[in-house]
């Protein structure tokens, strides 16, 4: 079960629920993998809806590693992700937001 207070997000991959979390090491790996000097550019792209599938995959891999599952992008190429590409993008965006905002901020953002 994912704990939003720890910045965790759950994603179902091949029928198994995996916990993702962006630890400091996972964030550093993400920056290096995307060739960014900071994550601000990635956050801005996600917020504007201008992210790529590469961004989503990099976020998910970093989050899975931060959550304790040592996996590479090649393992996810043929994986069945709940919700398909949109489910993966939604989980990646949630993961990034939870890394920088406390859970009550998400609740306020999601309220009608």
In a domain, 87, yes or no: yes
Range of the domain at 68: 4-100
CA dist., res. 47 & res. 25, Å (int): 23
In a domain, 93, yes or no: yes
pLDDT, residue 38, reads 73
In a domain, 16, yes or no: yes
pLDDT: which is higher, 35 or 109 = 35
Could you give phi then psi for residue 12, rounded to 5 degrees? -90, 120
Closest CA to 60 of 39, 83, 90, 37: 90
Number of structural domains found in the chain: 1
Instruction: Please check whether residue 2 is in contact with residue 19, taking contact to mean a CB–CB distance below 8 angstroms.
Output: yes
In a domain, 11, yes or no: yes
Is pLDDT at 107 greater than 60 in this prediction? no
- Please state whether the predicted TM-score (pTM) of the whole model is above 0.95: no
In angstroms, the Cα distances linking 48 to 36, 42, 74 are 17, 10, 27
pLDDT tens string 55-101: 899 999 999 999 999 988 898 989 999 999 999 999 998 998 888 77
In a domain, 32, yes or no: yes
In a domain, 105, yes or no: no
In a domain, 23, yes or no: yes
């Amino acid at each position: 079960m994912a704990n939003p207070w720890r910045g965790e997000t759950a994603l179902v991959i091949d029928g198994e629920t995996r916990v993702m979390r962006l630890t400091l090491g996972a964030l550093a790996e993400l920056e290096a993998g995307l060739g960014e000097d900071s994550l601000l550019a990635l956050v801005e792209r996600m917020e504007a809806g201008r992210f790529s599938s590469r961004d989503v995959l990099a976020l998910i891999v970093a989050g899975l590693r931060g959550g304790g599952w040592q996996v590479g992008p090649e393992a996810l190429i043929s994986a069945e992700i709940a919700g398909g590409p949109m489910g993966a993008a939604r989980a990646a965006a949630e993961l990034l937001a939870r890394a920088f905002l406390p859970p009550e901020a998400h609740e306020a953002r999601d309220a009608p």
